[in-house]
Structure 1
């Protein structure tokens, strides 16, 4: 339990800090849109390039991990669609919040728990799985925005344009390309990416807190309830089943389930703001899921053991 509290408390603390800063007007309200734009176009791509470029696959069960996380992600998309069917009246922007709330994962929490629970081997395998997930999820989320915010019309040109222009996908592509090519970044450049990328997490979480309105829970309870059910019930179960089906065991299986048991990512709010989503409901989903995970993660880990 202590490990989970230590991993989740910084996340919640930064959300609360952003909430207090916005409510006390310690910083002018004009700061937040600029901070969100900076995070989206610079801080997060830098973090992605650094985190994906430096992973050595080696003799790890990378194919089994890829099959497990890829299958679980596609299953989570299916769960989202099934959860959306009885709520088709919600607008396209609200659907994107449901989509991100049920598909994304909090990388920081997942990696912190993997290292504390499974040591260096767990951290490496979690980083490997997260690398696969980041690219797949970002492509799916940008595609969902392109269709949903475009009034449900599938426009191939619009989708291609949104994918090509998305800085997060560029960050994933460059990081994986550097990894696959074996190119090692100069120490000065890699160090710069590390420093820039480290700012993405605190700035993004404070932006979530700044946008959070307590009264919005009642307004956005439908996407909130559905996304929480998918995130904390459906995804861990399907990840456990796929891990067994692909032959993963021990630490690798535990890491696979862990990746699909954490709350959604704070980057979901930044993407929602920049691509015309319902950022109010997204802020509610991120905050509530983070709070709920204090209770759901101990139960998941107990079942896992």
Structure 2
């Protein structure tokens, strides 16, 4: 239990700090939109390039991990689309919050738990699985925005293609994977710069979530919140267990995959929602609620792993 508390407390603390700073007006309200743009266009892409460029999968069970994580992401996205089709009264902005809240995952919490439970091997296996998912998740989420927000109900393939090609998160993923595939090592100075910039993305993003949070939003957005929590904390762990069993993954590899799909959604969801015209109020509520709820759900997952 202490491992989970240690991993989740910094997340909630930074959200709370952003909430307090915004309400106290210690910093001008005009700071937050600029901080969000900085995170979205610079800090997060730097983190993605750094994390994806230097991994060497070697003799690890990478194929089983790849099939498992991509399968769970695709199935989760399909569940949200089916639910959205059955509830057409939901606005496009709220749908994107539900989508991100059901598909994304908190990398920081997952990696922290993997290292605490399985050591350095678990950390590397979880990072490998996260790397496999990053491109697919960002393509799916950007596509959800392009097809539902400001599309007038139609499918604008030109807008979708433009959004995918110009999205800084996808560009960061492609650059990182391209560097990895080429075998070219980033110069130490450049890699260190990217690593340092990437470390700033997480705290700034979390404080931006807190700054946007409104206490009444949890009740206002109860429906997408409930559905996203059901998919995030029930459907995804069950799917992950099924696929790891089917692909023959065991030990730390299976545990790392299960952890990736047992954590709350990513704070990056809020930044993407703000920048692409989503319903950022509902997104902030989902992030906050899932992070709090994970204090209850994660001990169950860890108990099952051990």
- Asked if 2 retains the 8 angstrom alpha-carbon contact of 1:92 and 1:151, the reply is no
Pair 1:94 & 2:94 matched:
yes
| Rounded Cα–Cα distance in structure 1 between residues aligned with 2:215 and 2:83 | 24
| Rounded Cα–Cα distance in structure 1 between residues aligned with 2:115 and 2:301 | 17
Deviations 1:238-283, CA, capped at 9 Å, x for gaps: 0000000011111111111110000000000000000000000000
**Residue 65 of structure 2 aligns with which residue?**
65
- Output aligned runs, 1:254-273, within 5 Å: 254-273=255-274
**Residue 24 of structure 1 aligns with which residue?**
24
| Rounded Cα–Cα distance in structure 2 between residues aligned with 1:274 and 1:160 | 17
| Rounded Cα–Cα distance in structure 1 between residues aligned with 2:101 and 2:87 | 15
**Residue 44 of structure 1 aligns with which residue?**
44
Q: TM-score scaled by structure 2? A: 0.98
- Output aligned runs, 1:49-198, within 5 Å: 49-149=49-149, 150-198=151-199
Q: TM-score scaled by structure 1? A: 0.99
**Residue 227 of structure 1 aligns with which residue?**
228
**Residue 301 of structure 1 aligns with which residue?**
302
**Residue 291 of structure 2 aligns with which residue?**
290
Deviations 1:20-41, CA, capped at 9 Å, x for gaps: 0000000000000000000000
Cα shift at 1:77:
0.8
Deviations 1:177-216, CA, capped at 9 Å, x for gaps: 0011011011110111111111100000000000000101
| Rounded Cα–Cα distance in structure 2 between residues aligned with 1:303 and 1:190 | 38
Consecutive unaligned residues of structure 1, counting only runs of 5 or more, are none
Total equivalences in the alignment: 305
- Asked if 2 retains the 8 angstrom alpha-carbon contact of 1:50 and 1:190, the reply is yes
- Asked if 2 retains the 8 angstrom alpha-carbon contact of 1:76 and 1:230, the reply is yes
| Rounded Cα–Cα distance in structure 1 between residues aligned with 2:136 and 2:224 | 22
**Residue 214 of structure 1 aligns with which residue?**
215
Q: Secondary structure at the residue paired with 2:192?
A: helix
Deviations 1:89-142, CA, capped at 9 Å, x for gaps: 110010000000000000000000000000011001001000011111000000
| Rounded Cα–Cα distance in structure 1 between residues aligned with 2:249 and 2:264 | 23
- Asked if 2 retains the 8 angstrom alpha-carbon contact of 1:77 and 1:99, the reply is yes
| Rounded Cα–Cα distance in structure 2 between residues aligned with 1:110 and 1:152 | 36
Q: Secondary structure at the residue paired with 2:55?
A: coil
Cα shift at 1:236:
0.3
| Rounded Cα–Cα distance in structure 2 between residues aligned with 1:161 and 1:19 | 34
| Rounded Cα–Cα distance in structure 2 between residues aligned with 1:86 and 1:174 | 38
